[in-house]
Amino acid sequence: MARWPLQSECNGFYGNPRGKNGQASKVWESQNLVMISAPFAVQFLGRPAKLRVHRKCADDFAAWLEAVWANAGRARR
């Protein structure tokens, strides 16, 4: 499992996601964000959702989702 940064270390660890006028940087997004699949269906506002996370977090987040699914008995309630 990764060592996660303190708040003061985030820009150094993840890079600075802010673009012009404080908007999200498309360049940063394309270089750092990846799509992951959950082991179960995920919806947002009634629609299938895609999970987009920082590449440095992707493996640990996917493992966490798998652990949640396993602890739920791999069944939707």
**Cβ proximity of 50 and 35 under 8 Å:** yes
Note the pLDDT of residue 3. Answer: 81
What's this model's pTM, rounded to 2 decimal places?
Answer: 0.80
Note the pLDDT of residue 68. Answer: 93
Distance, CA of 60 to chain centre: 9
For all residues of the chain together, what is the average pLDDT? 92
Is 30 strand, coil or helix?
helix
**37-63 confidence digits (pLDDT tens):** 999 999 999 999 989 999 999 999 999
